[in-house]
């Protein structure tokens, strides 16, 4: 099959025909991974596992140092920031 690369916002895109999606058992809004190899684009289903967000205690469980909170001076506003 021959298709055309079309402008899509700031990117470009191609349409994947339904019969190809059906053959691969891929569905709308599934995440895919794209890589290039030797002048080719390879698209495969993304192997993403849902990761549970860690609590602050879990993130710092192995921290052995001492923590002293400090105030940070971010400087004066340079735009339309609201302080």
Is residue 82 one of the residues assigned to a domain?
no
The whole-model pTM stands at 0.52
Question: Average pLDDT of 56-69?
Answer: 89
32 with 45: CB under 8 angstroms?
Answer: yes
Is residue 17 one of the residues assigned to a domain?
yes
43 with 31: CB under 8 angstroms?
Answer: no
* Cα(63)–Cα(2) distance, integer angstroms: 56
User: pLDDT grade, residue 20 (50/70/90)?
Assistant: very high
pLDDT at 83 over 70: no
Domain that holds residue 43: 6-60
- CATH number for 35: 2.10.260.10
Is residue 48 one of the residues assigned to a domain?
yes
Is residue 37 one of the residues assigned to a domain?
yes
Going along 1-83, which residue ranges are E strands?
A: 6-8, 11-13, 32-37, 40-45
**Phi, psi at residue 41, to the nearest 5°?**
-100, 130
Is residue 67 one of the residues assigned to a domain?
no
Q: What six digits make up the tokens of 42?
A: 């390879």
Is residue 45 one of the residues assigned to a domain?
yes
């Amino acid at each position: 099959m021959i298709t055309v690369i079309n402008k899509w916002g700031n990117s470009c895109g191609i349409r994947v025909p339904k019969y190809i999606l059906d053959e691969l058992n891929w569905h709308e809004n599934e995440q895919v991974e794209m890589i290039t190899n030797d002048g080719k684009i390879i698209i495969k289903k993304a192997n993403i596992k849902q990761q549970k967000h860690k609590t602050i205690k879990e993130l710092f469980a192995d921290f052995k140092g001492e923590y002293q909170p400090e105030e940070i001076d971010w400087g004066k506003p340079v735009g339309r920031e609201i302080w």
